[in-house]
Amino acid sequence: MNRPTDPVTSTALASPAVTRAALFGLTRLRRSTRTERREWLLAFVLLLPALTMLALFVAYPFARGIRLGMLDSVVGREGQFIGIQNYIKLWYDSIFQRTAQNTFIYTACATFLKLSLGMLVALMLNNLIGFKRLLRASMLLPWIVPTVLSTLAWKWMFDPTFSIVNWILYHLGFIQVRVDWLGGPVAAITSVILVNVWRGMPFFAITLLAGLQTINPDIHEAAAIDGANAWQRFWRVTWPLLMPVTMVVVLFSVIQTFADFQLVYILTGGGPANSTHLFATYAYQIGIATGKLGEGAAASLAMFPVLFLVVLFQLWYIRRGEGGKGGA
């Protein structure tokens, strides 16, 4: 039986906030006064430039991207519609499978290391009395300097023949023979993860430090008086209070790491033998280097489901936090 869509379910499917706002808008429209209408007009005018830019260069390319992912376009030739064949082809492509696996490993390892190291550094900085500003400022350098340029320095430090990293480890007695940092698949992805941690850790440390500074030291003192040791105080007091900041930082970082391009492009170019590609670098290789635009667009859109879930989770988390605050 072909039943019309149940209005209750379709309302429930839309975000409750949107529905509420829409209902609010409709009821207000009828009863709106002249001053209200003028306020709406002003809001519309003020939002117009931003929304125009975002519509032209985000929403429109997004729609075109979905279409492009279903074409067999190559550079210089209009494509034919081929449905989801690009996606099917990628699904069975062993390099793409490897790429997907790499991206998840890369994101998980790098995020975990950035969070744990960043948390440690934040705790240490929070305990520091002098030099706090100076240390904070110098520690952020990897984060503000153009990533491609600092990654070039790392590439030079990992050079198979002239590696300074090897020199240091050799003279400290850690290695006897040279390590080819970017030579093998495992070594290469490990090196890329290390550089990502180097670059991203400061963001975690500084943001978590800002969060730590908002925690009232009295709470710690109270816990200490009640006999909690440093370890317990961290897990029972600091960690839960820091949770909202941690969550947002982690989700931001997961999105950035998952969609990373520059580190791999510079350090390994996806090699050796296509073993270190991430979604973005593989999409670049297919779309730009090989010129198969349709397939490349499909490869980068393959990131979308994961990114979408992360964003949904983040929105849910923020909403939940706001609801809690409102209720308190």
Partner 1 sequence: MAAVSSGGWRRWFYLYLPLGAIVILTLFPFYYMAVTAVRPDREMYIPWNRPNFAPFWTLRPTLEHFALLFRETLFARWLVNTLFIALMSTGISLFCGLLAAYALARLRFPLGGALGTGIFVTYLVPQTLLFLPLGEVIRSFRLGDTPWALILTYPTFLIPFCTWLMMGYFRTIPRELEECAQIDGATRLQAMVRIVFPVAMPGILSAGIFAFTLSWNEFIYALVFLSSATQKTIPVGVVSELVRGDTFFWGPLMAGALLGSVPVAFIYSFFVEQYVSAMTGAVKG
Q: C-beta of 191: minimal distance to partner 1 in Å?
A: 13
Of 10, 11, 17, 77, the residue at the interface with partner 1 (CB under 8 A) is 17
- Pick from 139, 187, 237, 241 the residue near partner 1 by CB under 8 A: 139
302: helix, coil or strand? coil
| Cβ proximity to partner 1, 106 vs 279, nearer residue | 279
Closer residue to partner 1 (CB): 189 or 296: 296
189 contacts: CB under 8 Å, gap ≥ 6: 102, 105, 106, 275, 276
| Residues contacting 221, CB < 8 A, separation 6+ | none
Shorter beta-carbon distance to partner 1: residue 62 or 91: 62
Tell me the one-letter amino acid at 30.
Answer: R
Which residues from 251-280 bind partner 1, rule CB under 8 A? 252, 255-256, 258-262, 265-266, 279-280
Under rule CB under 8 A, which residues in 284-303 are in contact with partner 1? 284, 287-288, 293, 296-297, 300-301, 303
Distance of closest approach, residue 2 Cβ to partner 1, in angstroms: 31
What is the SS3 assignment for 186? helix
Least separation in angstroms between residue 121's CB and partner 1 is 6
State the Cα–Cα distance between residues 191 and 44, nearest whole angstrom: 49
State how far the Cα of 157 lies from the Cα of 146, in Å rounded to an integer: 17
# binding residues, partner 1 (CB under 8 A): 112
Residues 227-246 that bind partner 1 (CB under 8 A): 229-230, 245
Q: Which range of residues in 5-13, 102-110, 137-145, 182-190 is near partner 1 by CB under 8 A?
A: 137-145
Considering beta carbons, is residue 40 or 275 the nearer one to partner 1? 40
Distance CA 151, CA 164 (A): 15
Residue entry with tokens 């992805």 = 189
- According to the binding rule CB under 8 A, does residue 11 interact with partner 1? no
Residue with Cβ nearer partner 1 (1 or 179): 179
Nearer to partner 1, 109 or 294 (CB): 294
- By CB under 8 A, the residues from 22 to 41 that bind partner 1 are 22, 24-26, 28-29, 36, 39-40
Q: Is the peptide bond before 272 cis (omega within 30 degrees of 0)?
A: yes
User: What Cα–Cα distance (Å) separates residue 25 from each residue in 18, 50, 260?
Assistant: 10, 22, 40
Q: Does 306 bind partner 1 (CB under 8 A)?
A: no
Window 64-103: residues binding partner 1 (CB under 8 A): 64-65, 68
Q: How far is CA 160 from CA 75, 156, 179, 183, 276, in A?
A: 36, 9, 8, 8, 17
Shortest Cβ distance from residue 25 to partner 1 (Å)?
3
Mention every residue, 6+ apart, whose C-beta is less than 8 A from residue 169: 175, 179
What are 290's strand-pairing partners? none
Helix H segments across the chain?
7-13, 16-31, 34-54, 60-68, 85-91, 94-127, 132-139, 141-144, 147-157, 164-171, 185-213, 217-225, 230-233, 239-258, 262-267, 279-284, 293-301, 304-327
Kindly indicate which of the ranges 42-50, 86-94, 95-103, 180-188 contains the residues binding partner 1, using the contact rule CB under 8 A: 42-50
Asked if residue 12 binds partner 1 (CB under 8 A), the reply is: no
Interface residues for partner 1 in 140-169 (CB under 8 A)?
A: 140-142, 144-150, 152-157, 159, 161-164, 166-167
Q: Is 181 in the site for partner 1 (CB under 8 A)?
A: no
Of the ranges 82-90, 99-107, 183-191, 206-214, which one interacts with partner 1 (CB under 8 A)?
Answer: 206-214
Q: What is the DSSP letter of 46?
A: H
Q: Give the shortest CB-276-to-partner 1 separation in angstroms.
A: 16
